[in-house]
């Protein structure tokens, strides 16, 4: 799993309306962070947004499955779903989806004890 410099630069431009993001290497790919929260991951130049029960249907409607980190389909991270490919050509829609993923990350962070929260809002 990896993140090419070209794809990272492309994503950085798409994420710009959010105020920018940071990429941090994680398990052979990269985590995407905004305001201290991980809300997306990239593996093999494929973007996956953080998802929960409030957004699963959006991904299902686009036939976008979970991130699978091995050849075993049971090793899926259901909390991350592949971003619809069409978003690469639709910057406004991309921003909407990215903001939804960030909202998922904020909700998850709020479930943690105060001392373990990361949101720097």
Domain ranges for the chain = 5-116
Q: Which CATH superfamily is domain 5-116 in?
A: YgaC/TfoX-N like chaperone (3.30.1460.30)
Buried b (16+ CB within 10 A) or exposed e, 45-55: eebbbbbbeeb
Cα separation, 27 vs 107, in Å, equals: 24
User: What pLDDT digit, counting tens, does each position of 49-86 carry?
Assistant: 999 999 999 999 999 998 887 666 666 677 999 999 99
- Regarding pTM above 0.95, the answer is no
pLDDT of residue 31: 94
Cβ-contact 56, 66 below 8 angstroms: no
Cβ-contact 31, 49 below 8 angstroms: no
User: What pLDDT digit, counting tens, does each position of 98-118 carry?
Assistant: 999 999 999 998 887 877 777
């Amino acid at each position: 799993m990896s993140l090419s410099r070209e794809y990272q630069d492309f994503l950085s431009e798409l994420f710009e309306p959010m105020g920018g993001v940071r990429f941090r290497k994680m398990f052979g790919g990269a985590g995407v962070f905004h305001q201290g929260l991980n809300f997306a991951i990239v593996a093999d130049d494929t973007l996956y947004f953080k998802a929960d029960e409030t957004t699963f249907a959006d991904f299902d409607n686009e036939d976008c499955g979970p991130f699978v980190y091995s050849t075993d389909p049971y090793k899926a991270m259901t909390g991350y779903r592949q971003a619809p490919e069409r978003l690469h050509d639709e910057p406004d829609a991309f921003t909407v989806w990215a903001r939804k993923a960030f909202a998922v990350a904020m909700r998850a962070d709020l479930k943690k004890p105060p001392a373990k929260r990361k949101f720097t809002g």
